[in-house]
Structure 1
Amino acid sequence: MISRRDYLKCSLIAGAASTLPVGFLHALEGQQLIQRAIPKTGEKLPIVGLGSSATFRRLAEDGNTNQLSDVIKTMLDNGGRVFDTAPGYGESEEVAGEIVQQLGATKDIFWATKLNVAGRGGAAADPAKAHAQLEDSFRFIGKDPIDLIQVHNLGDVPTQMGILKELKQEGRVRYIGVTFTGSSRYADLVKVLKDEPVDFVGVDYAVDNRDAARDIFPVAKDRGVGVLVYLPFGRTRLWNRVGDRPVPEWAKEISIESWAQFFIKFAAAHPDVTTVTPATSKPHHMLDNLGAGVGELPDKALQKRMAEFVDALPSA
């Protein structure tokens, strides 16, 4: 019986002839992505990366490695390198790890994965299962140390953060952090930022979902914590709100050519944001997303105008 790893390898080789047209992957050549420094070290990261939930996850579970390989190549060949994943995203972590290893690009990626084996309803995490999940991540990604591992969705922070702190002390992970999407537990997230030596926080933030800028970002700034922005499109919410409307002409003043760039540039414009990581499974969407990371970002006046424009639209 063929293993998943062998299947993925064969799929990648078989799909070599169906890769993107010459020149497509380098469409942003000559334009550099804006970089932001990780507060505690000064290491710089591109302001736009790639997430692996949603459609990326679905294609990974379907075994569509050719298209996902093109997405990752598009990111790498245009200056991106932050890849956000999680064991909780189905096959995404394993499939992406295999693709990147086949590309010979494991060291070129800033890997941001997660840990969560806590039970439903806040049940305690089993340390043995947590260690097993982490070892799977090391095996799938093929990189030791892993760049960033975060406690996913505030799952049993005392147990799982304790394990991550040990890993960092041992030199097996470079940065540690915590994530949550949804304002219902922002108070808990703030407590972790204040009580634990975290390097990153992952949180939802979008042009129509700005609570994190008020509740999370100031604490992150005060504590020297980097910010990964999730859901800059509100999953599908913002797409439903804008519908088939054209991007406003005034947004083109800073070279916004698409709604994706509108949404990402808004999120990236906040000075406390390190990297925005929208998920996608399509190479041309990856390229469009990266386009938000070049040129100007909206100033405060334009951010206000962008927010007011979206707020005036009907709710999705």
Structure 2
Amino acid sequence: MISRRDYLKLALASGTVLSFKPSLLWAGDQNLPLITRIIPSSGQALPAVGLGSSATFASVARSEDTNALREVFKALFEHQGRVFDTAPGYGASEEVASALVRELGQQETVFWATKLNVAGRGGGRADPAAARRQLETSIERIGKKPVDLIQVHNLGDVPTQLGLLKEAQSAGRIRHVGVTTTFPSQYAELEQIMRRETLDFIGVDYAIDNRTMEERILPLAQDRSIAVLVYAPFGRTRLWERVRGHQVPDWAAEFDAHSWGQFFLKFVLAHPAVTTATPATSRPHHMVDNMGAALGQLPDAAMRQRMIEHLNNLG
């Protein structure tokens, strides 16, 4: 039987999805437990790995051929995943994903996380009417009642937009609300908002080489019982460039990591504040590999330090 690592090498070399089912890769992992995390405010359990829709996902969503994204969703569902993070600001991602998930009959299975971002970044004010229109469009597109999570994107006019989200939450149209940012210049503001507002979620950037969140934000999320979605766990493309030409160390198998993607994701998931990591992808075999990080063991504190040192020694 072909191994998962060999499958990924073949798939990457050909640039295509191989004809056999991704589930064949998982024969050796069938008995590994799925890592799930609890949303503190609601008690709902989520798989620790999901799917994001920025970057390459958004690029494919803009094209006429979205078959690859359909296969990505199939891989997500087949391997126990269901968290999907999107935003109106990610081009056609929200609209295309909704159509594909509905076509697959999984509208109620997905944990839908989208965003409200009329104001944008930089302190501009949001037009309440425009924000309401965007909110209504997202709720209608998704078609799940209530929508699982809507967050204020990049802290855009939080008083106005979070107010609208809480209003919709009180009306039973949204289950969870929160705020997001991946901009270091906004971290201090994020901390203030976390202390001031009642939030179910935050969405932030966090990776093995981007550990600023460990200093204040992640501990505060634990103290305030706020769930955390992690964006850019691969540093977008930064970490892939760093490990190019290097093999995953053999000792990564001690915590059930068999690829660099799983190595990076398991580092992130090992932080107790993290609920779910949502790396974006438009390739089914990457989705399968990512979901592998939600199986089995996670590194302990000593192993996480070893992982950091190993990466640093690569140059």
TM-score by length of 1: 0.90
Q: Please give the per-residue CA displacement for 1:115-152, whole angstroms capped at 9, x wherever unaligned.
A: 01005632100011101111111122121211000000
What is the RMSD of the two structures over their aligned residues, measured on CA atoms?
Answer: 1.6
In structure 2, the partner of 1:10 is none
CA contact (8 A) 1:27 1:78 kept: no
In structure 2, the partner of 1:270 is 271
In structure 2, the partner of 1:81 is 82
Matched to 1:83, the amino acid is: F
Partners of 1:67 and 1:20 in 2: how far apart?
Answer: 12
Q: Please give the per-residue CA displacement for 1:197-220, whole angstroms capped at 9, x wherever unaligned.
A: 110000000000001011211111
Matched to 2:54, the amino acid is: S
Partners of 1:45 and 1:208 in 2: how far apart?
Answer: 25
CA contact (8 A) 1:186 1:215 kept: no
1:50-69 pair list within 5 angstroms: 50-69=51-70
Partners of 1:103 and 1:169 in 2: how far apart?
Answer: 30
Q: Which moved more, 1:24-33 or 1:227-236?
A: 24-33
1:144-293 pair list within 5 angstroms: 144-293=145-294
SS at match of 1:245: coil
CA contact (8 A) 2:120 2:153 kept: no
SS at match of 1:106: coil
Distance change (3 Å), C-alpha of 1:120 and 1:248: closer
Matched to 1:275, the amino acid is: T
Distance change (3 Å), C-alpha of 1:32 and 1:72: farther
CA contact (8 A) 2:17 2:284 kept: no
SS at match of 1:159: helix
In structure 1, the partner of 2:108 is 107
CA contact (8 A) 2:17 2:285 kept: no
SS at match of 2:151: strand
CA contact (8 A) 1:199 1:225 kept: yes
Partners of 2:264 and 2:39 in 1: how far apart?
Answer: 22
Identity level (%): 57
In structure 2, the partner of 1:24 is 22
CA contact (8 A) 1:176 1:200 kept: yes
1:111-122 pair list within 5 angstroms: 111-119=112-120, 121-122=122-123
C-alpha deviation, 1:33, in angstroms? 2.1
Q: Please give the per-residue CA displacement for 1:163-216, whole angstroms capped at 9, x wherever unaligned.
A: 011000000000000000032211100111111111000000000000101121
SS at match of 1:298: coil
Distance change (3 Å), C-alpha of 1:119 and 1:80: closer
SS at match of 1:108: coil
Give the number of equivalent residue pairs: 297
Matched to 1:175, the amino acid is: H
CA contact (8 A) 2:122 2:156 kept: no
Distance change (3 Å), C-alpha of 1:254 and 1:154: same
Distance change (3 Å), C-alpha of 1:219 and 1:180: same
CA contact (8 A) 2:23 2:79 kept: yes
C-alpha deviation, 1:310, in angstroms? 1.7
Partners of 2:116 and 2:283 in 1: how far apart?
Answer: 27
Partners of 2:238 and 2:290 in 1: how far apart?
Answer: 17
Residues 1:294 and 2:292 aligned together: no
SS at match of 2:268: helix
SS at match of 2:202: strand
Partners of 2:93 and 2:279 in 1: how far apart?
Answer: 14
In structure 1, the partner of 2:9 is none
CA contact (8 A) 2:54 2:90 kept: yes
SS at match of 2:213: helix
C-alpha deviation, 1:269, in angstroms? 0.6
In structure 1, the partner of 2:11 is none
Unaligned runs of 5+ in 2: 1-15
CA contact (8 A) 1:48 1:82 kept: yes
C-alpha deviation, 1:19, in angstroms? 9.0
In structure 1, the partner of 2:96 is 95
Residues 1:40 and 2:41 aligned together: yes
Matched to 1:182, the amino acid is: F
Matched to 2:70, the amino acid is: S
Matched to 1:75, the amino acid is: L
Distance change (3 Å), C-alpha of 1:107 and 1:20: farther
